[in-house]
Structure 1
Amino acid sequence: MKQIKKLIIFTLVCLTLTSCNSKTTDTTNDTSENPTANNDEPQSRDVFAMDTYMTLTAYGNNADEALNEAEAEIERLDALLSTGDENSEIYALNQNGTGTISEDTEILLDESEKLYTDTDGVFDITIYPVMDAWGFTTQNYRIPSDAELTELLKNVDASRIQYNKDEKKVTLPDDVKIDFGGIAKGYTSSKIMDIYKKCKVTSGMVSLGGNVQLLGAKPDGSSWRIAVQSPDDTNDYLGVLEAKDKAVITSGGYERYFEENGTTYHHIIDPATGYPARSGLKSVTIVSDDGTLADGLSTSLFIMGKEKACDFWKEHSDKFDMILMTDDNELYVSEGIADVFSSDLTTNIVKK
């Protein structure tokens, strides 16, 4: 009998002065009702969008205004980038095979192209039809045949996307469809940071599923403490990272999966095989100034596996750091964050 499981979880649990999950409403101070609220008290907002539970937290006189704008921005980007919403720009592009794109889509297309090149095709937004065949886009899970995957993989190649920058027009080859799901949440969290800064928020964070992005430090000047969840136990964590002004984004096969005949099939698809990646890694956490980059790399390094991920980090160590957990329960941390990451587990330091 087929068993289907889907976990909607916060991969990163925020250890702050107050809670940073769906319970933050217990400590929220609404400035619309309490205009003299202390600047050190957080304003929080819970949102469900992009198939993810999100929590926004901000400090400062304009925190409530910032949260209103951030929530509106999340809803706008969700409507713009959804592959399932018939009114979205991406849905129309996939259906028509061509179209004029917005500034946001142009940015995401450019970032996707860079990631595709840097990862040698591991990050590929044209994997969408393969994801759909597995049912991860609809939750109608199934195991595609080898023949079906072979046929679908013929059209997985982001380098074939044509883009006329002058006309802002994208043209997709026949049977090619795209999905920015691999970087959309990271891009969204970065946009929220821009809103926070514009509204002069002094400290803040956003948690979008497995994505956490931080603005500044906590109000007392100390670093935020982010617990990186264990891929084996949603009530446990691998360790705690101290960070300021960073995106901390985790990917793992435990986030979304189904089981059939005793085998687990997760949603992180290897574009080289069309099957869920079996790289020897359970989870990958990326720490970077850039939320979009961190989002894309968390998935890409998961597919690469430990050795290739470490080599990739050595070549790009100026842009990100990483935390890897292997199937053998070995923990690897890049040296750039080794001094600010603590764990009860034995930690292997990856050096340049």
Structure 2
Amino acid sequence: MNGHHLPGAATSFPALGTTATLLTTDHRTLTEAERILMDELAAIDSTCSRFRPDSELSRLNSAAGTATTVSELFAEALNAALRAAELTGGAVDPTVGRAVRALGYDRTFASLRPQDAVPLPTARPATGWRAVDWEPGTRRLVLPRGTVLDLGATAKALAADRAARRIAEAVGAGVLVNLGGDLATAGRAPHGGWRVGLADDHAATGPGPVVAVTSGALATSGVSVRAWRRGGQVVHHIVDPATGRSTEAYWRTVTVAADTCLDANTATTAAVVLGPAAQEWLERTALPARLVRLDGTAIRIGGWPDDPAGGPR
């Protein structure tokens, strides 16, 4: 998913294992906006990255079984992850970290190497989010022994929300932050809205559906881009907590609009995990959504508009 806007200003750079794209409605604010975005991304990376041995998340995973007082930012990220688990009935669960590692996703996706000859280990269900001993008031955390937290389903979306809100407040312009398909807006949108192209891969170019975003957020999750081979099987990064395996591919991509990127991404990830049950579940949320089957056919629910003619994305 790509955000594009001709007036104003834009910049892109690698971040969090993906591409960060920043757009503002006033080119004079871009330098300050980029500084704020980079500050937010550095903070979320040092706090929530499971690919950095020095991150707070890595230290907490190593300390599973003992009580630890976490930082305010980690507390916000953990609250977001546990809320996502509750809202989705456990379909999005931060305790899937051991399963994700076992599948071979133990480094940034760009660093993954073919491991086809390596057999898949025996799958084990996630510990379960209800087993996390968490006291939000004191920020005291005790992870069950053997549990590995993975905040990948929520932390990037939280970073997009935080950055967009902070930038708009600081510079007084409309802003769009896109972190590899997790897209948040704040402030006044440009005339006609931010034009956002939808694709399986956020870095794709070419014709495709385009929607106008005037407020709120969009997120897209899918199984076709972050996939690799393991033990003769194609696996991907979205794990079913109930099985500890990559969820069975049913939807190629799911895109959801919501007030926050965190809510949008929670819904898209849950939909991929839920597979054929996703449509009914999303209809109950009343969130606009576009779900693309493996054969490329799309269904739209919650008032999602029909796909217009394709154009530049």
TM-score range, shorter chain: 0.7 to 0.9
- Taking the TM superposition and a 5 Å limit, the aligned residue runs for 1:233-252 are 234-236=204-206, 238-252=208-222
Check whether the contact 2:168–2:187 (CA below 8 A) recurs between aligned residues.
no
* Matching residue's letter, 2:265: D
Match 1:57 to one of 23, 31, 46 = 23
What stretches of structure 2 of length at least 5 have no aligned partner?
none
Superposition map of 1:166-181 within 5 A: 166-181=137-152
Q: Any idea what SS the aligned residue of 1:255 has?
A: coil
Superposed, which structure 2 residues align to 1:260-271 within 5 Å?
263-271=233-241
**Offset at 1:131?**
0.5
CA, structure 1 residues 149+263, in 2 after alignment: closer, same or farther (shift >3 Å)?
A: closer
Deviation at 1:304, TM superposition (A): 0.8
Letter in 2 for 1:58: T
1:185 and 2:156 are equivalent in the alignment: yes
CA spacing shift, 1:260–1:234, aligned 2, 3 Å:
farther
Query: 1:196, CA displacement in angstroms?
Result: 1.8
Q: Secondary structure at the match of 1:305?
A: helix
Q: Secondary structure of the equivalent of 1:338?
A: coil
Please say if 1:159 is aligned against 2:126.
no
Q: Deviations over 1:48-69 (max 9, x none)?
A: 2211121212233443222212
Does the CA-based 8 Å contact 1:230-1:236 persist in structure 2? no
Q: 1:293 aligned to 2:267? A: no
**Alignment coverage as a number of residue pairs:** 300
Displacement, 1:109? Answer: 1.8
| C-alpha distance in 2 between matches for 1:343 and 1:264 | 33
* Separation in structure 2 between the aligned mates of residue 230 and residue 47 of structure 1, nearest angstrom: 20
Task: Check conservation: 1:47, 1:71, Cα contact below 8 A.
Answer: no
Partner of 2:5: 16
| Displacement of 1:251 | 0.9
Q: What is the CA RMSD across the aligned residues, in angstroms? A: 2.3
| Contact 2:200–2:224 under 8 Å retained in 1 | no
Deviates more, 1:237-246 or 1:322-331: 237-246
Asked if 1:70 corresponds to 2:37, the answer is yes
1:99 pairs with 2:65 = no
* Superposition deviation, residue 279 in structure 1: 4.3
TM-score (norm 2): 0.87
Pair member with larger Rg: 1
1:136 corresponds in structure 2 to 105
In structure 2, what is the Cα distance between the partners aligned to 1:100 and 1:338? 46
Instruction: Measure how far apart 1:226 and its partner are.
Output: 0.8
Structure 1 residue 204 displacement after superposition: 1.7
**Structure 1 segments unaligned to the other structure (5+ residues):** 1-11, 18-39, 345-352
| Aligned mates of 2:244, 2:304 — CA distance in 1 | 33
Q: How far, CA to CA, are the matches of 1:331 and 1:216 in structure 2? A: 31
Match of 1:149 among 112, 119, 123: 123
- CA-CA distance at 1:144 after TM superposition: 5.0
Query: Which stretch shifts more, 222-231 or 280-289?
Result: 222-231
1:236-257 Cα distance to aligned partner (Å, 9 max, x none): 4551111112211111112211
Name the counterpart of 1:46.
12
Judge conservation of contact 2:69–2:140 (CA < 8 Å) in 1: yes
**Are 2:288 and 1:321 equivalent residues in the alignment?**
yes
Alignment of 1:109-120 (within 5 A): 109-120=78-89
Aligned residue number for residue 272 of structure 2: 302
Query: Identity, % of aligned pairs?
Result: 22
Alignment partner, residue 209 of structure 1? 180
CA displacement at 1:163 relative to structure 2: 1.0
Between stretches 181-190 and 114-123, larger displacement belongs to 114-123
- The answer to whether the 8 Å contact 1:164/1:170 transfers is yes
Counterpart amino acid of residue 13 in structure 2: V
SS in 2 for 1:63: helix
**Contact 2:256–2:268, Cα closer than 8 Å, also in 1:** yes
Q: Which amino acid aligns with 2:165?
A: D
How much has 1:274 moved relative to structure 2?
Answer: 2.1
Q: Is the Cα contact below 8 Å between 1:206 and 1:214 reproduced in 2?
A: yes
Equivalent position amino acid for 1:294 in 2: A
Match of 1:20 in 2: none
Instruction: Please list the CA deviations of residues 173-200 of structure 1 after superposition, one character each: whole Å capped at 9, or x if unmatched.
Output: 1100101111111101101112222213
Cα distance in structure 2, aligned partners of 1:176 and 1:261: 24
CA contact (8 A) 1:90 1:178 kept: yes
Candidates 112, 116, 121, aligned match of 2:90: 121
Give me the whole-angstrom Cα distance separating, in 2, the residues matched to 1:255 and 1:205: 23
The Cα shift of 1:261 comes to 7.4
Equivalent residues of 2:132, 2:142 under 8 A apart: yes
Cα distance change on mapping 1:62 and 1:225 into 2, 3 Å? closer
| SS of residue paired to 2:123 | helix
